C-alpha cells in the first residue's frame, strides 16, 4: 500500500446510491415473477381469544383466489419455532405456530391466509373469511401478569414469566446505608417500533422441479433466514437460497422470524409458484416486532467525594406472548442489566430482570437493544446525584468515569471492556458544545423565564459480537463473517462479503478496504452482498458488526489476494516478491516504477498461461473469515449532549442542538459514520419524545397508522454536531468498532436529562418516555 | 375504465380498475421508482407530480389522472431536471435505504421551484411531509440548501 492509495478514512460517496437516486432501486416489491401470486392475512382483532372456527368457503369462492388456509393447514407445513436461547438459563417460551392455532395471543396475530392473483383480490377474499372467536381476558400489564391470580397465557408454563435474572456483587445495602447522597427513580420506557419506510415484504419462489426455494428477502440476515427456512419447512439448507438486494430500512426489525413470512414460503412450496407477501402499514404496526416496554426502578449512591458506591436496578419488561425466534426477546432486558452504569466505576451492584409474557405484539431486538434504557437510567441517576450533591453534572461524570488508561476492565456485572475513551469523549464534548458558555446562556435565559436544559450522556455500545451472543445459545446465527476477493481476466477486482447493505454503506466500505490493499480505485471494485448462493457464509448485519467484522474479513481476503498477485508478478518479472507492491492498478517495484498492470497480469494468467514459468499455478481468488476472539464484545463508547427549551404552558419541547463525540475506533468512512450516528440520534429522539405504541386496557393498539403514530419529521429535528475520538480495537487489524446504534443508544437519555434540567427550577421531573406534552404538563402539575 | 394521460411526456392509454390508486397503477406499469410507504397519505414515498404539483400517489386514483400530465422520478431523471439535486444528495449522502428518496427529491424540487432562497428552516418545513427513517434529515437539508445556493448563483430559476 502506498500513500496514494488510501481510501479508508475518506468520505468516498456510495456508488450504489446513484441508482436509488434515479428511482432504479431493486426492492423486493419491484420484482414480478412469472405466475406470481399474492398473499393476504386475516389477523385476530382480539388481544386474546379462543378460535372456535375458521370458515374459508366464501373466500375460496371469490374469482382470482387460488388457495385459502387456516392455522392448522399451515401448521401441517411448518415446524413451530421456539424463541429460547439455551445459554440463558431458565428461559421459557412455548412453540409458536406460524399462524395462530386454537388461541390467538395478540391483536394482529395471523389467523388465516388467502392467496390470489393480485393483492387486491387476496384482500377482498380475506374480508370474506369468517372467524368465530371466543374472547379471553387480555393480559396487558406486565406487573399484573405476574400476579398469581392472573390468567396464564400459556397454562403449561405455570406462570407468565419468560425469564428472570439476578446479579449481585459487592455490599449494596452497606453502600446505601453509608451514602453521602442517594438518588432513586422509577423510569417508564414506552413501546415503540421500527417503522421501516418499506414495510416487511417477501417473495418466495419455489421450483418443484429442483425442490429449491428462493426467498427474495427484505432483511439483514440472509444466512440465518436460509437456516430458519430449511429447518422449519423441512428442506435441505443447500436447497434454500436467500437474496437480499435493496432493503428499505431495517433497524433490527428485519432480523426476526415472522409467521406470515414463513407461511408465505410454505405456501409457495405447496403451490409450486412464487408468492409475494407485502405487509401494509397497518399490518406492520400489528406484526413487526415492537421494542422497549420497560419499567425500571433504580437507585444509586455516592460518597462525600462524589464517587459512586452502589447501583441497584430492577427492570421488568413485557415481551408479548412469545419470545421471538431465534434471537429471543430476553436480550433487551439482559442488556439493561449488563450495561447500566457501564462507563463508571461502581463497587457494588444489584440487578434484577423479569421478562414477562403479555397479550400484545411480540417485542424483540430493535436498534439499540436495551442500551437506550440502560443509558437513560444511569444518566438520569447521575443528574439527580449531581443535583443532590451540588455538583455540575459534567463534573460528577468526570469524577466517576473509568479512566481511559485503566482499560481493560471488568464491570460489576462481569462485562469486559477494552480500548475505551470516556474521559476524552466527555472532555471533547464540552469543547464541541461550548458547555460553559451554554450553561451561562441557560442561566441568563432562566432569569427571563425561558426554560432551557442541557442533558449529558456517557455511553457504551455493544458492537462486533463474538459467538457469545447467539451461537452458544443454539441459534443458527453466525458470529463470523466471510469475504472473498478475486481478480477477473480484465484485471478488475471483485469482492463479496456476508455482511449486508441496507443503505448504511456496507458495500462502499468493503470497496474502500479492498481498494487500499489492492491499489485500485474503490469505484472500480465490484461488490456483491446479500445472496447466499454467491457470498461466503456469515452472520449478516446486526449488533453494529458489519464494518468491524465484515470489514476485517475483507481486509484479510484482499491481503491474501494481494499476496497471490505479487507472487505471480514476481514469477513473471523474475524478481523478489518482497520488492513489489500494488498501486494505481499496477504492480510496482521498490523504486515505485510500474512493472506490469493488473490487466496485463490477469490476461496472461487467464489466457496465456503458457507464458508463465513452469510449475506456477496461479490463484487470483482468496477468501478469509473473521470472528472476534478474546473478548465477548467490542464496545464503542461516546458522550452526547442535548440542548432543549421546554414551554411550561404547552409542555412542548423544542430541540435546539445535539452534539455527539463518539469513539468507533478506526473510521473507515467519516461521512457514513456520521450519517449512521445522525440517523440513530433521530430514532432515539423519536423514542424520547414522540413514538409510542398506545394500547387500550383491553389490548387494542390504538394508533396503528402513520398519522397517529408520530415519527420525527424534518421540521422538528435539530442539526447534530459530531466529533470523534479514535481508539482502535485491538481485536482486529482494521481496528474498527461499530457505529450503527450509537445515536439511538445515547439520544433518549440526553434528551430526557435536558428536559429535566429545564424543568428542575420548576420543581418538576419526568421519568417516562416518550415525554409527550401531556406528560410534561402532568409532571408540572398543570394537568392532573 | 379507460384512462388517457401524459406520463413523463408520452401519451398513455390504459385500462384501469376504478379503485386502483395512482401509485399502484404506476408501479404496475413498471415505474417502480415511486413507492408506497403508508397508503394513507402521510409518508410521502409515493409523491409524483401532476400538472406541476406534487401529489400523493396513494391518495389519487389512477382514473383521476385522466387528461393530466403525470411525472415520476423516472421522468425527472431522464430529463435531467433534477440532476443537480441528485448529485448533491449523492455527495451529502442524503439517502440511506433510498425508499423515501424519490418523494424527497420531487418535494425538494417543488420547494426550489417556488422559493429560490429557502432558509434551512424553510427546507425542513417543506420536507416535513416526507418521512425519512434513516438519515435524520440533516444531510437532506444540506443537499437542498447547497443546490438552492448554486442555482441562485447560476441564475437558474
Distance from CA of B154 to the nearest CA of A (A): 23
**End-to-end alpha carbon distance in chain A:** 67
Please give the sequence-ordered ranges of beta strands (E in DSSP) within A555-649, or none if there are none: 581-583, 586-588, 594-597, 621-626, 634-646
Nearest chain B alpha carbon to A24: B33
The tally of domains found in chain A comes to 3
Q: Are residue A20 and residue A35 in the same domain, yes or no?
A: no
Residues A522 and A554 sit within 8 Å (Cβ to Cβ): no
Query: A251 contacts in B (CB within 8 Å)?
Result: 133
Q: Which CATH number covers residue A223?
A: 3.90.1170.50
pLDDT at A516: 97
Say what angle helices A551-573 and A506-518 make with each other, to 10 degrees: 30
Which pLDDT value is given to residue B157? 54
Is residue A173 one of the residues assigned to a domain? no
Residue ending a domain, choose from A586, A605, A626: A626
Question: Are A755 and A697 part of one and the same domain?
Answer: yes
Residues A668 and A758 in one domain: yes
What is the β-pairing status of strands A201-207 and A275-278? antiparallel
Whether the Cβ atoms of residue A41 and residue A128 lie closer than 8 Å to each other: no
Size of interface A-B (CB pairs under 8 A): 172
Question: Pick from A40, A194, A347: which is nearest to A693 by CA?
Answer: A194
Q: Within an 8 Å CB–CB cutoff, is residue B91 touching chain A?
A: yes
User: In Å, how far is B138's CA from the nearest CA of chain A?
Assistant: 6
Contact yes or no for B98 and A503 at CB 8 A: yes
Q: Would you say residue A185 lies in a domain?
A: no
Write down the pLDDT at residue A5.
65
Same domain, A708 and A575: no
**Better-scored residue on pLDDT, A338 or B155:** A338
Same domain, residue pair A14 and A77: no
> Do residues A54 and A130 touch, judged by C-beta distance below 8 A?
yes
Do B96 and A251 make contact, defined as CB atoms within 8 angstroms? no
Looking at the structure, tell me whether residues A114 and A260 fall in a common domain: yes
Chain B residue closest in CA terms to A249: B97
Phi/psi at A622 (nearest 5 deg)? -145, 145
Backbone angles phi, psi at A581, to 5 degrees: -150, 175
Q: Is A186 part of a structural domain of the chain?
A: no
Model confidence at B153, pLDDT cuts 50, 70, 90, reads confident
- In this prediction, residue B156 has a pLDDT band, given cuts at 50, 70 and 90, of low
Q: Which residues pair with A457 in a beta bridge?
A: A640
The per-residue pLDDT for A784 is 81
Residues A528 and A594 in one domain: yes
In chain B, % helix, strand, coil (3-state, to 5) comes to 45, 15, 40
- Cell numbers 455500545 correspond to A461
Residue A678 CA to residue A599 CA, distance in Å, equals: 41
Span B31-77, pLDDT tens digits? 999 999 999 999 999 999 999 999 999 999 999 999 999 999 999 99
- The verdict on A448 and A484 lying in the same domain is no
- Residues belonging to chain A: 784
- In a domain, residue A155? The reply is no
Grid-cell match 450519517, residue found: A675
User: H-helix or E-strand containing A262?
Assistant: helix A259-271
Same domain, A591 and A638: no
Asked, for residue A471, whether it belongs to a domain, the answer is no
| pTM confidence score | 0.98
**In the structure, what pLDDT confidence band is assigned to residue B149 with cuts at 50, 70 and 90?**
very high
For residue A363, report the phi and psi dihedrals to the nearest 5 degrees: -105, 155
Query: What's A686's DSSP letter?
Result: I
Same domain for A443 and A508? no
CATH (domain of A558):
3.30.365.10
Contact yes or no for A197 and B100 at CB 8 A: yes
Distance from CA of A750 to the nearest CA of B (A): 16
CA–CA dist B120, A717 (Å, integer) = 11
Any CB–CB contact under 8 A between B81 and chain A?
no
Distance from the B30 Cα atom to the nearest Cα atom in chain A, whole angstroms: 8
pLDDT digit string, tens, across residues A613-642 = 999 999 999 999 999 999 999 999 999 999
Q: Can you list the residues of chain A whose pLDDT is less than 50?
A: 1-3
Contact A583, A3 (CB under 8 A): no
Q: Does A512 fall in a domain?
A: yes
- Classify the complex by whether its ipTM is higher than 0.95, answering yes or no: yes
Considering A611, A626, A641, which residue would you say is the last residue of a domain?
Answer: A626
pLDDT at A667: 98
- Name the pairing type of β-strands A240-243 and A212-217: parallel
Binding-face residues of A in 735-774 toward B, CB within 8 A = 743
> For chain B, which domains are there?
2-77 (3.10.20.30), 81-153 (1.10.150.120)
Domain co-membership, A408 together with A510: no
Alpha carbons within 13 A on the beta-carbon side of A167: 24
Q: How many CA atoms lie within 13 A of B50 on its CB side?
A: 21
Tell me how far the alpha carbon of residue B27 is from its chain's centroid: 14
Q: Do the chains contact at B133 and A251, CB–CB below 8 Å?
A: yes
Selecting from A195, A504, A712 the residue whose C-beta is nearest the C-beta of B96 gives: A504
Centre a 10 Å sphere on the Cβ of residue B119 and count the other Cβ atoms it contains: 11
Chain A within 8 Å of B86 (Cβ-Cβ)?
yes
Range of the domain at A503: 3-24+480-626
Note whether A13 contacts B91, CB cutoff 8 Å: yes
Q: Residue A60 falls within a domain, yes or no?
A: yes
Evaluate the omega torsion of the peptide bond into residue A43 and state whether it is cis, within 30 degrees of 0. no
- Specify if A353 maps to a domain: no
Q: Is B79 on the interface with A (CB under 8 A)?
A: no
Q: Which residues of A touch B90 (CB under 8 A)?
A: 13-14, 17-18, 21
Query: Would the CB atoms of B105 and A713 count as touching at under 8 Å?
Result: no
Domain co-membership, A749 together with A652: yes
Q: What φ, ψ does residue A548 adopt, rounded to 5°?
A: -70, -40
What stretches of A88-221 adopt beta strand conformation (E)?
Answer: 103-104, 110-116, 130-135, 161-169, 181-193, 201-207, 212-217
Out of A626, A645, A671, pick the residue that ends a domain: A626
Amino acid at each position: 500500500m502506498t500513500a496514494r492509495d488510501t481510501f479508508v478514512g475518506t468520505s468516498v460517496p456510495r456508488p450504489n446510491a446513484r441508482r436509488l437516486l434515479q428511482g432504479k432501486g431493486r426492492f423486493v416489491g419491484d420484482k414480478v415473477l412469472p405466475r406470481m401470486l399474492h398473499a393476504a392475512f386475516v389477523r385476530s382483532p382480539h388481544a386474546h381469544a379462543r378460535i372456535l372456527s375458521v370458515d374459508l368457503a366464501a373466500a375460496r369462492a371469490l374469482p382470482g383466489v387460488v388457495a385459502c388456509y387456516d392455522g392448522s393447514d399451515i401448521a401441517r407445513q411448518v415446524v413451530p419455532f421456539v424463541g429460547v436461547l439455551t445459554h440463558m438459563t431458565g428461559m421459557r417460551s412455548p412453540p409458536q405456530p406460524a399462524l395462530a392455532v386454537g388461541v390467538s395471543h395478540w391483536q394482529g396475530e395471523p389467523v388465516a391466509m388467502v392467496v390470489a392473483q393480485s393483492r387486491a383480490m387476496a384482500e377482498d377474499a380475506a374480508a370474506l373469511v369468517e372467524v368465530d372467536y371466543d374472547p379471553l381476558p387480555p393480559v396487558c400489564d406486565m406487573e399484573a401478569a405476574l400476579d398469581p391470580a392472573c390468567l396464564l397465557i400459556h397454562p403449561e408454563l405455570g406462570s407468565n414469566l419468560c425469564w428472570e435474572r439476578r446479579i449481585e456483587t459487592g455490599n449494596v445495602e452497606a453502600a446505601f446505608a453509608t451514602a453521602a447522597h442517594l438518588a432513586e427513580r422509577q423510569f417508564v420506557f414506552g413501546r415503540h417500533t421500527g417503522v421501516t419506510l418499506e414495510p416487511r415484504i417477501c417473495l418466495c419462489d419455489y421450483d418443484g422441479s429442483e425442490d429449491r426455494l428462493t426467498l427474495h428477502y427484505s432483511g439483514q440476515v440472509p444466512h440465518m433466514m436460509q437456516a430458519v427456512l430449511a429447518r422449519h419447512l423441512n428442506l435441505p439448507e443447500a436447497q434454500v437460497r436467500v437474496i437480499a438486494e435493496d432493503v428499505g430500512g431495517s433497524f433490527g426489525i428485519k432480523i426476526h422470524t415472522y409467521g406470515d413470512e414463513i407461511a408465505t414460503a410454505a405456501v409457495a412450496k405447496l403451490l409450486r409458484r412464487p408468492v409475494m407477501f407485502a405487509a401494509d402499514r397497518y399490518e406492520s404496526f400489528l406484526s413487526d416486532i415492537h421494542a422497549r416496554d420497560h419499567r425500571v426502578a433504580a437507585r444509586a449512591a455516592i460518597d462525600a467525594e462524589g464517587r459512586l458506591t452502589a447501583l441497584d436496578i430492577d427492570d421488568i419488561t413485557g415481551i408479548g406472548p412469545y419470545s421471538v425466534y431465534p434471537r429471543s426477546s430476553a436480550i433487551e432486558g439482559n442488556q439493561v442489566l449488563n450495561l447500566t452504569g457501564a462507563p463508571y466505576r461502581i463497587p457494588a451492584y444489584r440487578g434484577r430482570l423479569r421478562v414477562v409474557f403479555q397479550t400484545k405484539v411480540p417485542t424483540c431486538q430493535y436498534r439499540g437493544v436495551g442500551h437506550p434504557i440502560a443509558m437513560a437510567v444511569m444518566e438520569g441517576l447521575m443528574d439527580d446525584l449531581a443535583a443532590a450533591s451540588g455538583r455540575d453534572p459534567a463534573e460528577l461524570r468526570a469524577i466517576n468515569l473509568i479512566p481511559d488508561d485503566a482499560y481493560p476492565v471488568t464491570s460489576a456485572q462481569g462485562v469486559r471492556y477494552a480500548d475505551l475513551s470516556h474521559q476524552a469523549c466527555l472532555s471533547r464534548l464540552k469543547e464541541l458544545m461550548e458547555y460553559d458558555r451554554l450553561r451561562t446562556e441557560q442561566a441568563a435565559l432562566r432569569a427571563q423565564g425561558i426554560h432551557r436544559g442541557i442533558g449529558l450522556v456517557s455511553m457504551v455500545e455493544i458492537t462486533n459480537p463474538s459467538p457469545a451472543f447467539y451461537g452458544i445459545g443454539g441459534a443458527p446465527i453466525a458470529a463470523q463473517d466471510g469475504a472473498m476477493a478475486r481478480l477477473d481476466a480484465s484485471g478488475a477486482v471483485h469482492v463479496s462479503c456476508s455482511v449486508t447493505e441496507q443503505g448504511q454503506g456496507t458495500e462502499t466500505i468493503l470497496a474502500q478496504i479492498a481498494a487500499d490493499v489492492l491499489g485500485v480505485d474503490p469505484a472500480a471494485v465490484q461488490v456483491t452482498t446479500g445472496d447466499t448462493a454467491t457470498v461466503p457464509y456469515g452472520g449478516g448485519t446486526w449488533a453494529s458488526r458489519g464494518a468491524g467484522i465484515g470489514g476485517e474479513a475483507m481486509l484479510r481476503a484482499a491481503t491474501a489476494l494481494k499476496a497471490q498477485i505479487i507472487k505471480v508478478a514476481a514469477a513473471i518479472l523474475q524478481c523478489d516478491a518482497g520488492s513489489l507492491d500494488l498501486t494505481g492498478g499496477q504492480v510496482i517495484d521498490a523504486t515505485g516504477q510500474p512493472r506490469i498492470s493488473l490487466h496485463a497480469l490477469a490476461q496472461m494468467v487467464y489466457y496465456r498461461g503458457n507464458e508463465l514459468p513452469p510449475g506456477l499455478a496461479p490463484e487470483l481468488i482468496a477468501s478469509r473469515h473473521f470472528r472476534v476472539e478474546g473478548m465477548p464484545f467490542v464496545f464503542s463508547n461516546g458522550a452526547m449532549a442535548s440542548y432543549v427549551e421546554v414551554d411550561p404552558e404547552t409542555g412542548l419541547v423544542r430541540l435546539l442542538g445535539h452534539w455527539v463525540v463518539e469513539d468507533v475506533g478506526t473510521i473507515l468512512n467519516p461521512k457514513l459514520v456520521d450519517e449512521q450516528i445522525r440517523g440513530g440520534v433521530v430514532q432515539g429522539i423519536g423514542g424520547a419524545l414522540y413514538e409510542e405504541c398506545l394500547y387500550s386496557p383491553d389490548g387494542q393498539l390504538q394508533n396503528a397508522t402513520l398519522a397517529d403514530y408520530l415519527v420525527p419529521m424534518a421540521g422538528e429535528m435539530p442539526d447534530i454536531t459530531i466529533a470523534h475520538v479514535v481508539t482502535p480495537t485491538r481485536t482486529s487489524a482494521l481496528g474498527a468498532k461499530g457505529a450503527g446504534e450509537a445515536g439511538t443508544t445515547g439520544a433518549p437519555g440526553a434528551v430526557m436529562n435536558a428536559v429535566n434540567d429545564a424543568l428542575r427550577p420548576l420543581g418538576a421531573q419526568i421519568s417516562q418516555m416518550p415525554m409527550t406534552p401531556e406528560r410534561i404538563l402532568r409532571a408540572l402539575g398543570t394537568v392532573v | 375504465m379507460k384512462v388517457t394521460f401524459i406520463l413523463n411526456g408520452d401519451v398513455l392509454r390504459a385500462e384501469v380498475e376504478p379503485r386502483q390508486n395512482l401509485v399502484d397503477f404506476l408501479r404496475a406499469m413498471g415505474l417502480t421508482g415511486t413507492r408506497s410507504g403508508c397508503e394513507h397519505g402521510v409518508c410521502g414515498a409515493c409523491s409524483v407530480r401532476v400538472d406541476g404539483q406534487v401529489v400523493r400517489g396513494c391518495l389519487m386514483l389512477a382514473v383521476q389522472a385522466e387528461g393530466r400530465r403525470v411525472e415520476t422520478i423516472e421522468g425527472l431523471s431522464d430529463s435531467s431536471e433534477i440532476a443537480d439535486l441528485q448529485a448533491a444528495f449523492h455527495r451529502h449522502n442524503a439517502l440511506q435505504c433510498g425508499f423515501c428518496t424519490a418523494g424527497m427529491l420531487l418535494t425538494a424540487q417543488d420547494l426550489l421551484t417556488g422559493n429560490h432562497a429557502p432558509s434551512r428552516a424553510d427546507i425542513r418545513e417543506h420536507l416535513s411531509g416526507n418521512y425519512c427513517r434513516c438519515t435524520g434529515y440533516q444531510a437532506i437539508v444540506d443537499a437542498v440548501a447547497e443546490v438552492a445556493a448554486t442555482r441562485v448563483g447560476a441564475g437558474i430559476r
